[in-house]
Amino acid sequence: MSFTFRGGIHPKEQKQYTENVPINYLTPAEKAEMVFPLLQHLGSPCQPIVGAGQKVLLGEKIGDSDAYISSPIHSSISGTVKDIRPHMTAMGTIVNSIIIENDGELLEHETIKPKDYNELTREEIISIIREKGIVGLGGAGFPAHVKLSPPAGKEIDTVIINGSECEPYLTTDNRVMIEEADRLVIGVQIILKVLKNARAVIAIEDNKPEAIEALKKACGNIAGIDVAACKTKYPQGAEKQLIWAITKREVPSGGLPADAGCVVNNIDTVIAIHRAFIRGRPLMRKVVTLSGGAIRNPGNYKVRLGTKVNDLVELAGGFKANPVKVVVGGPLMGTAIFDINVPIVKTTSGVLFLTEKEAYIPPEQNCIRCGKCVERCPMGLVPTELNTDVLRENSELFVKHNGLECIECGSCSYICPAKRRLSQAIRTTRRVELAKLKNKG
């Protein structure tokens, strides 16, 4: 059986910098200023529950919200709260943030206590996942406790663990699967205790043979957990495409994976669930790929949330060349930033420091009507038509032509021989129209 989907592209992988580099730790320096934005997830922002001058411990909750779709924030260090003020994030937004000075002692909070998930009820497991601040770590940041609590009438029969990691450069999920396969499988078993009638499929692109082998060995003969080798193709890791590849089910327009009987979780999310129970730790760290031709020591690094990118660069040996572009995330769906004085947050998967050659984008030319963007669009859209709607400022036609269904994967821009800025134009208009709908609602 071929686990794949319609459309998509196979960009140059550029994973050679880091795919064989084991995960290393980068520990923030004593007196380092750590920044904890109070919005690191989809949903309502947290409110601070600590104040300036207060001493906090590693693992202590420092922000929370009464909203259901939200997720608490925890300190990844012990230290002193210096300030609570707006701070720039890697998304270019200004978010109210808690600033903590690291004391270098890493004194743990009393709430860090292991829990035996076998002795807990479904509701207790979900409550702990929420309390530990776990969200989707693949990029979307959807609170995990919400994802594991499907609406009444939505029967979940398939849990897909997303190990695709199809974006170029990024290799953290690959290394986690190789190095922490046993922990990953325990995390899957915890999820299956919540979704009792589901089976689990760990989906890995077939360009990661070492990870596939490690997971097959770790799963052994455990009932209800399978490993699926998916065709290497971008955007294999997108939820709708991955669900189709594994189950041949379609998520309806405007729907959620639960509407197709599925829940999709990222590799690192499952590891975070393991840590929450086996070690009692909240979400405080992230495995991040630092890569690109400009960074001196590219690699996969386990870093504490709140560490600023400029501090990470220094800890990783600095630059060997001047980066002309810095991208948080992958090169196709990531965000270019103009200031590296921004923190690593829950959804940060990587930071790319690109040279002039790597970042070069050819100038736009006129569309030659080749149809490649239509052929490769994984959502079955007509990107060139949507681009025309954008250029004519016709938002009504843009919506009528299903522009809101775009997943912003960038396949159309990548494959276009005329190098039209299709994805960029569609993304901007789509987000404006979605904001209008949200305000109406």
pLDDT 10s digits, 191-236:
999 999 999 999 999 999 999 999 999 999 899 999 999 999 999 9
pLDDT at 440 exceeding the cut of 80: no
* 131 and 240 housed in the same domain: yes
Question: Which of 226, 247, 279 finishes a domain?
Answer: 279
Q: What is the pLDDT of residues 11-27, one digit of tens each?
A: 999 999 999 999 999 99
What HEC string does the chain produce? CCECCCCCECCCCCCCCCCCCCCEEECCCCCCEEEEECCCCCCCCCEECCCCCCEECECCEEEECCCCCCCCEECCCCEEEEEEEEEECCCCCEEEEEEEEECCCCCECCCCCCCCHHHCCHHHHHHHHHHCCCECCCCCCCEHHHHCCCCCCCCCCEEEEEECCCCCCCCHHHHHHHHCHHHHHHHHHHHHHHCCCCEEEEEEECCCHHHHHHHHHHHCCCCCEEEEEECCCECCCCHHHHHHHHHCCCCCCCCCHHHHCEEEEEHHHHHHHHHHHHHCCCCCEEEEEEECCCECCCEEEEEECCCEHHHHHHHCCCECCCCCEEEECCCCCCEEECCCCCECCCCCCEEEEECHHHHCCCCCCCCCCCCHHHHHCCCCCCHHHHHHHHHCCCHHHHHHCCHHHCCCCCHHHHHCCCCCCHHHHHHHHHHHHHHHHHHHC
pLDDT at 169 exceeding the cut of 70: yes
What is the reported pLDDT for 436?
86
Please check whether residue 337 lies inside any domain of the structure.
Answer: no
Please check whether residue 88 lies inside any domain of the structure.
Answer: no
pLDDT at 2 exceeding the cut of 70: no
Please check whether residue 66 lies inside any domain of the structure.
Answer: no
* 273 and 149 housed in the same domain: yes
What is the reported pLDDT for 1?
55
Please check whether residue 162 lies inside any domain of the structure.
Answer: yes
Average of per-residue pLDDT across 156-171: 96
Please check whether residue 254 lies inside any domain of the structure.
Answer: yes
Please check whether residue 435 lies inside any domain of the structure.
Answer: yes
Residue scoring higher pLDDT (418 or 438): 418
Q: What is the pLDDT of residues 367-404, one digit of tens each?
A: 999 999 999 999 999 999 999 999 999 999 999 999 99
* 126 and 253 housed in the same domain: yes
Question: Which of 279, 303, 319 finishes a domain?
Answer: 279
What is the reported pLDDT for 135?
96
Averaged confidence pLDDT in the chain:
95
Q: What percent of the chain has pLDDT over 70?
A: 99
Count of domains for the chain: 2
* 123 and 244 housed in the same domain: yes
pLDDT at 153 exceeding the cut of 70: yes
* 259 and 129 housed in the same domain: yes
Q: What is the pLDDT of residues 327-367, one digit of tens each?
A: 999 999 999 999 999 999 999 999 999 999 999 989 999 99
* 244 and 379 housed in the same domain: no
What is the reported pLDDT for 139?
75
Q: How confident is the model at residue 93 (pLDDT cuts 50, 70, 90)?
A: confident
Q: What is the pLDDT of residues 252-273, one digit of tens each?
A: 988 899 999 999 999 999 999 9
Note down the domain range covering 246: 117-279
Q: How confident is the model at residue 439 (pLDDT cuts 50, 70, 90)?
A: confident
* 268 and 393 housed in the same domain: no
* 275 and 379 housed in the same domain: no
- We report the CATH number of the domain holding residue 216 as 3.40.50.11540
Question: Which of 232, 258, 279 finishes a domain?
Answer: 279
pLDDT at 422 exceeding the cut of 70: yes
Average of per-residue pLDDT across 284-294: 96
